[in-house]
Amino acid sequence: MSAATDSNSSPRHEPGPADAAWYRSLNAELAAQGLSPRELQRVIAETRAEADSAGIAPASLFGPAVLFARELASALKEDGTGSQAKESTLGPVVLRLRDVTVRRGRRTVLSDFSLTVRRGEIVAVVGSNGAGKSTLLQVCAGLLRTNSGRMERTERFGYAPQLDALAPLLTVDEHLRLFGAIDGASQGRSVPTGHQILHRLGWRPNGNQVTRTLSGGTQQKLNLALAQLASPELLLLDEPYQGLDALAYEDLRTLISSWRNSGAGVLLVTHLLRDIDFVDRVVELPAPDSSTGHSKTKEYAA
């Protein structure tokens, strides 16, 4: 469990009745998620110690207790049961492409391309520069039409594009409210949920900070939190590690694994070979070949 603290922040929080209620909700949801009494006691003690040492109310540090409990429970499930957990959580199809062809200008970027993603799995898309990875995600997000073939996808999806979709003059919390409203989340929920995701990425944001003053890596964290805000069934992540430091990279891997374990399907564009060991399948797009257009896509289990 990790959460960043901020040394130049407001005075230390004094525990009160709201905190006690938060820990009661955490306890109840962890028990409902099937944690043993012993595990439950340990997790609550660790959570309390982390909040106390940060001097921050648990609700501010970790977000809503119920969501935090679910995330913890899925992370513990992954630690304890490994690949068996993956098998048992594989669910319905959330994305299906059949014989999709996409041309951009005179180039055929995707040719008769087929892919299925189910809930509870991470599929990595790899390939050299220009192979069509971002094009594929844009098709899946519904931003680009196919020239032929069919794309079916759940309505409940989140998309973190490679070039961020942030408005430079809006604050962090304005982004969370705006994207939450677009995704149908209530305004009261989107800010604490967004902060919770950002804590898990090692950043405790000042909600009033204007986005253009954030570093590139921090903007990427916000970009990712926005994609996950409404707990989508499908996440489309286009090179989400760009700009992240080593710690945030590890946090993001853990977070993506926990999204999978809580039932999301993830389509992840990546250049990093290290990622291959934590995904379920890899789809390799062929290198662009200007003379022949396109050769064969490869797919293999990770």
Ligand X SMILES: Nc1ncnc2c1ncn2[C@@H]1O[C@H](COP(=O)(O)OP(=O)(O)OP(=O)(O)O)[C@@H](O)[C@H]1O
Positions touching ligand X (CB under 6 A) are 104-105, 107, 109, 127, 129-135, 288
Coil, helix or strand at residue 89: helix
Q: Which residue, 67 or 268, has its beta carbon nearer to ligand X? A: 268
Residue 202 C-alpha from the chain's centroid:
14
Q: Least Å distance between CB 256 and ligand X?
A: 19
Sequence-ordered alpha helix ranges (H) in 229-283:
246-261
For every residue of 137-188, DSSP letters joined together read HHHHTTSS--SEEEEEE-S-EEEE-SS----TTSBHHHHHHHHHHHTT--HH
Q: Which residue, 61 or 109, has its beta carbon nearer to ligand X? A: 109
Q: Which residue, 127 or 232, has its beta carbon nearer to ligand X? A: 127
Q: Which residue, 35 or 109, has its beta carbon nearer to ligand X? A: 109
Read off the tokens for 168: 């430079």
Q: Which residue, 104 or 274, has its beta carbon nearer to ligand X? A: 104
Q: Which residue, 43 or 269, has its beta carbon nearer to ligand X? A: 269
Position of tokens 């890899």? 282
Q: Least Å distance between CB 280 and ligand X?
A: 21
Sequence-ordered alpha helix ranges (H) in 33-107:
37-54, 58-62, 65-89
| Contact assessment for residue 220 and residue 170, using Cβ atoms and an 8 Å cutoff | no
Q: Least Å distance between CB 284 and ligand X?
A: 11
Q: Least Å distance between CB 110 and ligand X?
A: 9
Q: Least Å distance between CB 138 and ligand X?
A: 7
Q: Least Å distance between CB 266 and ligand X?
A: 17
Q: Could you give the CA distance from residue 257 to residue 251 in angstroms, rounded to a whole number?
A: 10
